[in-house]
Amino acid sequence: MSEAAPATNGKSSRPSSNGKGSYRRRRSSGKGPRAEKPTTEETSKPSTPEGEAAPKRERPETVPVPEDLVGTTQTGTVVVTVRNRKFHFGFISLGLGEKAQDPTTPRIYFNPSFISEKGLNLYHGYEVTFEVGKDESDRMVAKNIALTENGMKIKEVRDAEAQARRAARAEERAAAAAIAAATKKETKKEKDTAVAATTATEEKKDGEGKKKKRSRKRKPKKPVAEGEAAAITTTTTPAAAPTEKKPRRTATFDISVEGDDSKKGTLSFTIDSSIGRLKSLAAKAVDASMDLSVYLITDEHPNGVFCTRAVLNNVGETGKLLLAPKREADNLESK
């Protein structure tokens, strides 16, 4: 009976060097599993034995402060300061000068709350005086810390050096800002010059593409003889006679309405005006409907003839108008 293949959750396994299936997934980049680093004598040996933690870095041994110094005032040098977001403390050596760096010299713990001068920060190398005491955990601590005269001089020198460094940095920043402003101004000037040159080139091309306007030269006048010149100057053209406007001809019309003898009236009308104006004025004169048509009553047409321009031009100084509904055969002769 053959051995059962290991479960692969529907994924095919890739045999490894020892003949067993590997269930390691390929990387998303498609390059397969990472290549193994070549082993050497140094890398083949483990840094720490299995089951053992890495050894901690041992702190140098310090000499404790003698118990008989509790309650006394001592002079020392700040040799260690730790300042970060979580901790702020340090150590003071009970020696001065080169003796402060001697590991056999006792060191005492301090924190900023034990500094007598408010706002004073202690740095490496400051000489201070302090009172030896103990805290709640029965640990030796330095209290009522203050600078000595030599410590004040050291602080003044370092403050002056720090001030000089700050001034130098400020000058460097100002110089860098001035250079950046000058560079920006120069760049803007070059850009404006380039834009002006491009505009001038485009205008020149546009000017070359257009046709030059030709100026028309007048022909010189021919010289005229003396006799001819006299004749020209003596002759004058007669002035044009002013045209007389024809007076407008008017006619007076008696107006009546067909089927309504109560509506009668008179109208003085200029013959040159339009037929539509004649119809409008006639209807208003007798207070009749504007839908009625205008007919001219003559001896030849006692029932009225449809009024057209040709009919109206033949009217004399007087005439008769009849306002009536439009007839089917109005003025058929004029069509």
In a domain, residue 24? The reply is no
In a domain, residue 184? The reply is no
In a domain, residue 83? The reply is yes
| 10, two tokens | 């529907």
Q: What is the CA 79 to chain-centroid distance, rounded?
A: 57
pLDDT value, residue 217:
73
In a domain, residue 245? The reply is no
The Cβ of residue 79 has, within 10 Å, a number of other Cβ atoms equal to 17
Sign for the pseudo-dihedral over CA of 130, 132, 136, 138: positive
Total number of domains constituting the chain:
2
Rounded Cα–Cα distance for residues 10 and 216 (Å): 97
Rounded Cα–Cα distance for residues 76 and 128 (Å): 6
Q: Find where tokens 């050096």 sit.
A: 161
Q: Find where tokens 């120069």 sit.
A: 186
CATH of the domain at 277: 3.10.20.90
DSSP 39-90: P-HHHHS-SS-TT-PPPPPPPPP-PPPPGGGTT-EEEEEEEEEEESSS-EEE
Q: Among 214, 215, 232, which Cα is nearest to 223's?
A: 232
pLDDT value, residue 2:
46
Q: What is the pLDDT along the chain (335 residues), one digit of tens a residue?
A: 444 555 555 555 555 555 555 556 665 655 666 666 666 665 555 555 565 666 666 666 678 888 888 888 888 999 888 888 777 888 888 888 888 888 888 888 888 888 888 888 888 888 899 999 988 888 889 888 998 888 888 888 988 998 899 999 999 999 999 899 888 888 888 888 888 888 777 766 665 555 556 667 777 777 766 655 555 555 566 666 677 777 778 888 888 888 888 888 888 888 888 888 888 888 888 888 888 888 888 888 888 888 888 888 888 888 888 888 888 766 444 44
In a domain, residue 239? The reply is no
The Cβ of residue 298 has, within 10 Å, a number of other Cβ atoms equal to 14
Q: Which of 116, 151, 186 is the last residue of a domain?
A: 151
Q: Which of 151, 181, 196 is the last residue of a domain?
A: 151
Rounded Cα–Cα distance for residues 317 and 174 (Å): 105
Q: What is the CA 14 to chain-centroid distance, rounded?
A: 58
Q: Among 189, 183, 117, 182, which Cα is nearest to 155's?
A: 117
In a domain, residue 25? The reply is no
CATH of the domain at 90: 2.40.50.140
SS3 245: coil
Q: Among 281, 262, 259, which Cα is nearest to 271's?
A: 281
133 Cβ neighbours under 8 A, 6+ residues apart: 70, 71, 140, 141, 142, 143
Rounded Cα–Cα distance for residues 161 and 180 (Å): 28
In a domain, residue 320? The reply is yes
Q: Which of 98, 117, 151 is the last residue of a domain?
A: 151
Q: How many Cα atoms are found within 13 Å in the side-chain-facing hemisphere of 248?
A: 8
Q: Find where tokens 């100084």 sit.
A: 317
23 Cβ neighbours under 8 A, 6+ residues apart: 8, 11, 13
In a domain, residue 39? The reply is no
Query: Domain containing 96: what range?
Result: 68-151
